[in-house]
Amino acid sequence: MIKKVCVFCGSALGAGDVYLKEAMRLGEALVAGGYELIYGGSNIGLMRVIADTVMKGGGHVTGVMPHVLAGREILHEGITELILVDSMEERKRVMGQLADGFIAMPGGIGTLDELFEALTWNQLGIVRKPVALLNADGFYDQLSAFLDHVTAQGFVRPEHRDSLLVDDDPYRLLNRMDGFLPAETLPGWVEELKRDTEKRHG
């Protein structure tokens, strides 16, 4: 069972109100399930929406922000706990250590960076925690299709592709994360890669 969920999401609200509403739904689902929120500590965009929703519902919110961003006055001062760190890399590391699982909501380059780092941690066995996409209004349909393509081309193993949970309902997604079973990690699949490299390349 997971208790602390790290949510990666945009510092913008996105087009229209659909993503704002989905951020509120995810926040409500976290509170209803008794989950704590770990996030990037910002007071703008979807990051603020989900933090405010969890706080309003009486939940616990921990924000993790680098000093360089805190100095730009985007620090959310109304959350339960704030951790200031020295770099973006440290921010990801601390959030990864605190969380029992990860959800990526709609977002931009930073969100995608955080998502793929968490997936890489799992693939390498650094962590064994669920990683999920909240596919609000089909936002991640094209990314999912691209990951299918990458898998078909032999660059991602099917079990690692399948370990990424995708759902458009936050309550159902959290339930699926609770039942997560990690894929095989090192060294099994690396040995297969070694044999394939030797066979085809010499």
For the chain, which residues make up each domain, given as ranges?
4-201
What is residue 202's predicted lDDT score, i.e. its pLDDT? 76
**How far, CA to CA in Å, does 48 sit from each of 41, 54, 72?**
8, 10, 15
DSSP state at residue 109 = H
The CATH number for 4-201, chosen from 3.40.50.300, 3.40.50.450, 2.40.10.10, 3.40.50.720, is 3.40.50.450
Overall average pLDDT of the 113-117 stretch: 97
Beta-bridged to residue 61, according to DSSP, are: 37
Residue 192: φ, ψ to 5°: -65, -40
**161-196 residue pLDDT tens:** 999 999 999 999 999 999 998 876 666 778 888 898
Peptide bond into 170 cis (omega under 30): no
Q: How distant is the alpha carbon of residue 8 from its chain centre? A: 5
**20-43 residue pLDDT tens:** 999 999 999 999 999 999 999 999
The confidence band for 73, taking pLDDT boundaries of 50, 70 and 90, is confident
> What ranges in 9-87 are assigned the alpha helix state H?
18-32, 45-56, 67-70
